[in-house]
Amino acid sequence: MLRQQDVGHRIVVRRIVGIREGRPLFSDALGELVELSETHLTLATAHGPLRVPVTQVHRAKRVPPTRRPTAAAVVALERAADEAWPAPTRGRIGDWLLRSADGWTGRANSALPIGDPDRPLAAAVDEVERWYAEQGQPAMINTPLPLAAPVGTELDARGWTARPPTLVQTAPLPLPAPSSVDTPPAAGRVDLADGQAGAAGGQAGAAGGQAGLAGGEAGLAGGQADAAAGQAGRWESVVVELATAPSEGWLAVAAGRKGGLPDAARHVLTAVDQVRFAHGYVDGTLVAVGRATVTGQGRWLGLSLIEVSPEARRQGLARQVIDELAAWGVSAGATRAFLQVEQHNNAAVALYQRLGFVTHHTYLTRVAPH
């Protein structure tokens, strides 16, 4: 059977899907194991996530990887992602990164164990625990898989828990053109990258009404769009503005989504040389936001905080925001895009699949016991 060390690896599962004439019927599934618990396992398959109860598993085993990225490719992408989400307080254990941002988001408050820690593994984890204790925070480590599988084994022995798996997905730029089914006619675009973060002007009043935009990862999960059919044309008039700084309305959305916005959060959002904040307006009301960075020596466009207000979802606005940010990335010289999405956020994963994103690797955020 499978063990925690198999998480992040390609596996095949033979599962029981029914009974016929007193005999079990079997079906095989192939994919990357992204979660394993006492009750179920989850695979990232070519057709999307598949959750299988352990009681239905007849056999399961690891199989050879196919077109798996090299360790060097995983390290390069993880470092580009770190540049795109920079924690204000940082440290090092050899090549390992230590990051703290007043507890705002797991990515900015966890160690990244890639490279050589310049000491035995157990001693490196001890140092991680000491460093976070000095920050007054729980120790957390992000473990890219399978690259950091040995770290995961050490953390298992110490009783560290794991948050839901996150998919690190990539796609070539430019992104494919939207079809008429995917999205309504293209949005108008205003680029405020000349340093006039004019999205704030006249829109600050949107902050209060937009604080409730918090939604699932990538702002796509849940919620039936409650706009009446007669208002469908309203979403065709969306105007997407790109600015080098977020407006107050934009920040209100981020605060609602992430549970507040400490000073460290503003550093994480803005302390990148090449960054753009997308503001999507309809009739002067902020209904969609997004953020993009270019890092990794100019190669990688990083997408984050794609959020659409509940009443405006399922109208193609997320796609329009992404398209404008991707066009900016191409103009800045980026050749590939990446994003990080929780594996169980099926709506977001489905959208990104239509945009050509595939899973490059996964990671688990591990949390030290109290």
pLDDT digit string (tens) for 274-316? 999 999 999 899 999 999 999 999 999 999 999 999 988 888 8
Confidence of residue 343 (pLDDT cuts 50, 70, 90): confident
Span 212-238, average pLDDT:
47
pLDDT confidence tier of residue 215, bands split at 50, 70 and 90: very low
Q: In percent, how much of the chain has pLDDT > 70?
A: 83
For 209-225, what is the mean pLDDT? 38
The yes-or-no verdict on residue 213 having pLDDT over 60 is no
Per-residue exposure over 179-214, b if at least 16 CB sit within 10 Å of its own CB, e if not = eeeebbebbebeebbeeebbbbeebeebbeebeebb
More confidently predicted of 266 and 1? 266
| Residue the block writes with tokens 């070539």 | 172
Please give the pLDDT value at position 221. 38
Which tens digit of pLDDT belongs to each residue from 14-72?
999 999 999 999 999 998 787 788 899 988 787 777 899 999 999 999 887 667 789 99
Structure tokens at 213: 């935009």
Cβ partners under 8 Å of residue 98, min gap 6: 90, 91, 92, 111, 128, 131, 132
pLDDT in tens, 88-104: 999 999 999 999 999 99
What is the pLDDT of the chain when averaged over all its residues?
84
Segment 158-161 long-range contacts (CB within 8 Å, at least 24 positions apart): 158/125, 158/368, 158/369, 159/369, 160/366, 160/367, 160/368, 160/369, 161/366, 161/367, 161/369
Q: Please give the pLDDT value at position 234.
A: 64
* Mean pLDDT for the stretch of residues 162-171: 93
Per the CB < 8 A criterion, the answer to whether 364 and 165 are in contact is yes
Reported as a pLDDT band with limits 50, 70 and 90, residue 12 is: very high
Write out pLDDT tens, residues 116-143: 999 999 999 999 999 999 999 999 999 9
SS3 state of residue 145: strand
Q: What is the mean pLDDT of the segment spanning 244-271?
A: 92
